[in-house]
Chain A
Amino acid sequence: MVTLDQPALSQAEPRTTSRVQPLLRFARRNTAGILFLLPALGIFGFFVWYPVVYGFILSFQKNAFYGVPTFAGWSNYRFVLHDPLFWTAWRNSASYALYGLLIGYLIPIVLAIAINEIRHGTGYFRLAFYLPVIIPPLVTAFLWRYMYTHDGGLINSLLSVVHAAPQPWLQSPSTALPSLVIVTTWANMGGTVLIYMAALQGIPAQLYEAAELDGANIWRRIWNITLPQMRGIMLILLLIQIIATVQVFTEPFTLTGGGPDLSTMTVILLIYNYAFNSGNFGAASALSVILFLVLVVLSLIYFGITRRLNLGGAE
């Protein structure tokens, strides 16, 4: 779109006689804009763009923290790839994402549809399901640790009231990861519910009316109209959730520290341990770069989908 304040640059200037004038014009047109961009350019330059590039450099250096950095070639990458924990961590991060989808992906969709159909208390439900999102993750983590306590914790106590066997929750390699996922899901699903609810309200009423006239019952309407209409947003949130789960730090760090027996040692925790437990910043940087590449690929998929949906959208 062309607006008054933005004539095309190539436009001829018939009355110009001097060669300086176009320069002045150019300056007048751009100076303010560039000045206004400077704070953001500075901040992004120093704290995002530069670190991203620097991370690649660090991954090829040795001993960058406590001495003079030296070129290390691929040795940091070799170290990371040969570390038996490398695959453990990736397997755990992948399971974290998978459990996250199993436990946490469908619940918000179901909740959103249900709340949207309820004729009473919509505001309350929206609020109540969103509430955990604003609790500081550290509080969430310790609150759940308190409830997961094996002897006398709320959950096992309630189980014993109904004569069910106590569960080990965070204390067993087979249940620790799912238990963490329950915590992350509890803490994060509220936002997703709101987004789905908004998407539901964007579905045109005529579609339902037409379907009803065609004799489609409620289940068929959900299956044939609601879900297809939400397909795009469901796909996007699927990817966002995967990317977000891989980045979770506070919960495993504070609740299990990677245990028991490495069953919750995620890629992020491993990076943290390399850097701050062993002081091996080269290995930490190398693993960060690998993680970075994996997540960028996922992000590219996400943006690809967003773009495609957008082209097909209302614009």
Chain B
Amino acid sequence: MQLSIKGRRRITLRATANHERSIISDLEFRKPAVKIAHWTIFGLLLLGTVLTIGPLLWMVSGALKPSIQIFNTPPVLWPSSPEWINFVKAWQQLNSLRYLANTAALATGAVALQLLVSATAAYALSKLKPIFSNVLLFFFLSTLMVPAIAYLIPQYFTVIHLPIFGISLIGSWWAIWLPEAANAFNIIILKSFFDTLPNELIEAARIDGANAWQIFTRIVLPNSLPALAVVSMFTIFATWKDFLWPLLVLNDPNSLPISPALYQQAIAQNSYQPQNVLLAGFVIATVPPLVLFLIFQRQIMRGVVTTGLKG
């Protein structure tokens, strides 16, 4: 995580090429051999992006095919008469709206709770520094060493019977929000950002009579919007990808987010969804995060770089 702090200071994504040289210098670049190599690599990269974008387009084209063309040899790249009806079917029969709304609501709650939990902790550890804060920081960070999957079972038990409170969270979205809010990466991201806020700013507010809460809400948070945005984005994508945990803790299929809901529709022995309708459902599930990503791509990709978090 220290790495990330260092990274954020040092690394800026190159917006326009050539303001700093890389392996090949500008002078070298004028040589014909280098030019040929450059365009060869360029072509190979283009071919490479066919491998990443191609499958997504294949999914869309499959969703538009009549059942009979879905497994055709040679492959039908684009159906002659696209069956847009498959999207209508997917929207209605797969209850897409409900599951998209569930996912959006889950993501909203997750963002709110994670920001609250991580930002307060990061503020305390960065600026208030109460007694034992170094020890606590270590305890938070040490959870990064513990892969979540290794305590899946006891975590499930905990959700069934929450100690002290003695209640069960099963079936409630809190069963997703609360465990997900224990995210040390967020604390690191925010703490390292708060560390860069000048102490003089906070001291001045204190002299003006502001208490810790006011400083937090009026000075620290408004000045940290980029970091808060990165945390929010990662939270939204993580919620959208969540699969196993919602399947375990949400007993009502109507409250599931889209991934496990689609899984049930694809696998359940009584759902019998034809392949093209399922594909249309997958396209529908992919569009919201895709749009969000295209809008916020700069911030997200910068976030990936600064945190070392791989999405």
A39 and B3 alpha carbons, distance in the complex (Å)? 27
- A138 at the binding interface (Cβ < 8 Å): yes
Which residues of A (134-179) have their CB < 8 Å from a CB of B? 134-139, 142-144, 146-147, 149, 151-154, 156-158, 160-161
**Once the chains bind, are B23 and A221 in contact (CB under 8 Å)?**
yes
* Candidate in A124, A143, A243, A254 with the most chain B CB atoms within 10 angstroms: A143
Which of B75, B133, B144, B237 is the one whose CB lies under 8 Å from A157? Answer: B75
A148 and B120 alpha carbons, distance in the complex (Å)? 47
A147 and B282 alpha carbons, distance in the complex (Å)? 14
Which residues of the other chain, B, contact A254 by a CB distance below 8 angstroms? 263, 267
- A262 at the binding interface (Cβ < 8 Å): no
A188 and B41 alpha carbons, distance in the complex (Å)? 22
A284 and B17 alpha carbons, distance in the complex (Å)? 52
- A215 at the binding interface (Cβ < 8 Å): no
Which residues of the other chain, A, contact B243 by a CB distance below 8 angstroms? 136-138, 249-250
A191 and B310 alpha carbons, distance in the complex (Å)? 5
Which residues of the other chain, B, contact A30 by a CB distance below 8 angstroms? 130-131
Which single residue of chain A is at the shortest CB-CB distance from B155? A51
* Candidate in A39, A160, A197, A292 with the most chain B CB atoms within 10 angstroms: A39
Which single residue of chain A is at the shortest CB-CB distance from B59? A143
Separation in Å of the A137 CB from the closest CB of chain B? 6
Which residues of the other chain, A, contact B293 by a CB distance below 8 angstroms? 131, 134
Given A36-B121, A43-B181, A131-B56, CB of A292 within 8 Å of CB of B157:
no
- A258 at the binding interface (Cβ < 8 Å): no
Which residues of the other chain, B, contact A29 by a CB distance below 8 angstroms? 130
Separation in Å of the B135 CB from the closest CB of chain A? 11
**Once the chains bind, are B151 and A55 in contact (CB under 8 Å)?**
yes
**Once the chains bind, are A55 and B163 in contact (CB under 8 Å)?**
no
**Once the chains bind, are A271 and B10 in contact (CB under 8 Å)?**
no
Chain B interface size range = 35 or more
Interface 9-residue window, one of B42-50, B86-94, B224-232: B42-50
**Once the chains bind, are A147 and B58 in contact (CB under 8 Å)?**
yes
Separation in Å of the B56 CB from the closest CB of chain A? 7
A52 and B309 alpha carbons, distance in the complex (Å)? 23
A46 and B178 alpha carbons, distance in the complex (Å)? 9
Which single residue of chain A is at the shortest CB-CB distance from B77? A154
Which single residue of chain A is at the shortest CB-CB distance from B70? A152
Interface 9-residue window, one of A16-24, A94-102, A202-210: A202-210
Which of A40, A55, A299 is the one whose CB lies under 8 Å from B153? Answer: A55
Which residues of the other chain, B, contact A302 by a CB distance below 8 angstroms? 145
**Once the chains bind, are B286 and A136 in contact (CB under 8 Å)?**
yes
- B152 at the binding interface (Cβ < 8 Å): yes
* Chain A residues near B (Cβ < 8 Å): 3-6, 26, 29-34, 36-41, 43-44, 46-52, 54-55, 58, 64, 111, 113-122, 124-139, 142-144, 146-147, 149, 151-154, 156-158, 160-161, 186, 188, 190-192, 194-195, 197-203, 205, 208-209, 212, 218, 221-222, 225-226, 236, 240, 243-244, 246-247, 249-250, 253-254, 268, 271, 275, 281, 284-285, 288-289, 291-292, 295-296, 299-300, 302-303, 306-307, 309-310, 313-315
Known: A37-B125, A125-B45, A218-B34. 11 other contacts (CB 8 A): A36-B128, A52-B154, A54-B158, A116-B23, A122-B14, A138-B260, A151-B71, A152-B72, A186-B52, A202-B10, A275-B153
Q: Which 3 A-B residue pairings sit nearest by Cβ, starting from the closest?
A: A152-B71, A33-B130, A191-B310
Residue pairs across A and B with Cβ atoms less than 8 A apart, 13 shown, are A36-B121, A36-B128, A40-B120, A40-B182, A50-B158, A114-B44, A115-B45, A134-B311, A149-B71, A201-B12, A247-B149, A284-B153, A288-B150
* Chain B residues near A (Cβ < 8 Å): 1-3, 6-7, 10-14, 17-18, 20-25, 28-29, 34, 38, 41-42, 44-45, 48-49, 51-53, 55-56, 58-59, 62, 70-75, 116-118, 120-121, 123-125, 127-131, 133, 136, 139-140, 143-155, 157-158, 162-163, 178-179, 181-182, 184, 187, 199, 202-203, 206, 211-213, 216, 237, 240-241, 243-244, 258-260, 262-263, 266-267, 275, 278-279, 282, 285-286, 289-290, 293, 297, 301, 304-305, 308-311
